[in-house]
Amino acid sequence: MDFLTTDLVDAHEETVRVLDPMLRHFGGATRFCGPIATVKLFEDNSLVRAALSEPGAGRVLVVDGGGSLRCALLGDMLGELAVQNGWAGVLVYGCVRDSVALARLPLGVCALATHPKKSQKRGEGRRDVPVRFGGVDFVPGHWLYADEDGVLLADRPLW
């Protein structure tokens, strides 16, 4: 990918929204972009698995895990599933695990931190709803761009 978030912000400063600098890169792809799909949940990654089991078509799954630091919402098996199904990336407002394996995958993965404990499996949460964290709204169908300098959002493709 040839885009840079710094260039996109400079060119579209009035229309893009920039996520507060709060996430770290854990995937093998540090530069990724695509239309947004969302899940909103708390310490239960059932909907993450369900979403990543579907064709990604280059989308980015935004997981609003409520910022919980008590368990992981994505690990190597779900990361591999995302790659197999054509997802560009997963952005987690929470934790991931299996960070060494995630770093080997051709997938963008950003999260708050790592945690060795897996999540619950209760099937709770909501999909494809607007979510908010880090000072921005993530709207399904809008675009997310991430690289080494940050994460930005736009209503339409910029690159």
* Residues making up the binding site for Mg(2+): 98
Contacts 24+ apart (CB under 8 A), 111-114: 111/23, 111/24, 111/26, 111/73, 111/74, 112/22, 112/23, 112/24, 112/67, 112/69, 113/24, 113/69, 114/26, 114/72
List, as residue ranges, the binding site for substrate.
75-78, 97
Phi, psi of 129 (to 5 degrees): -120, 150
List, as residue ranges, the binding site.
75-78, 97-98
> If 0-12 CB within 10 Å is exposed, 13-18 middle and 19+ buried, where does residue 82 land?
buried
18 token code pair: 């920039």
